[in-house]
Amino acid sequence: MLQFSVPTVSCHHCQVAIQGEVGKIPGVQSVTVDLDTKTVTIEGDELQVDALLAAIDEAGYDAELIQ
């Protein structure tokens, strides 16, 4: 499981956008976007941080790995 901080997520649309982009990456099983804590939690096999950061970036957001 990887958790990212995405400070600019603020609405349902943001949530859907990130889930859409990250969900395309092979190996990703679930993407949870928490609007209150502004974090994205990704579960899956053999996740690559760079690929996930790139996908969130593609969705239009800057992210930082928390754990």
**Is residue 11 part of the contact set for another protein (CB under 8 A)?**
yes
Beta bridge partners of 65: 4
> Which region among 4-12, 22-30, 39-47, 48-56 touches another protein (by CB under 8 A)?
4-12
**CB of residue 6 vs another protein: minimum separation in angstroms?**
9
**CB of residue 21 vs another protein: minimum separation in angstroms?**
10
Pick from 42, 56, 61, 63: which binds another protein (CB under 8 A)? 61
Q: Report the run of H or E that residue 45 belongs to, with start and end.
A: none
49 to 10, 11, 18, 29, 31: CA distances (angstroms)? 23, 24, 15, 15, 14
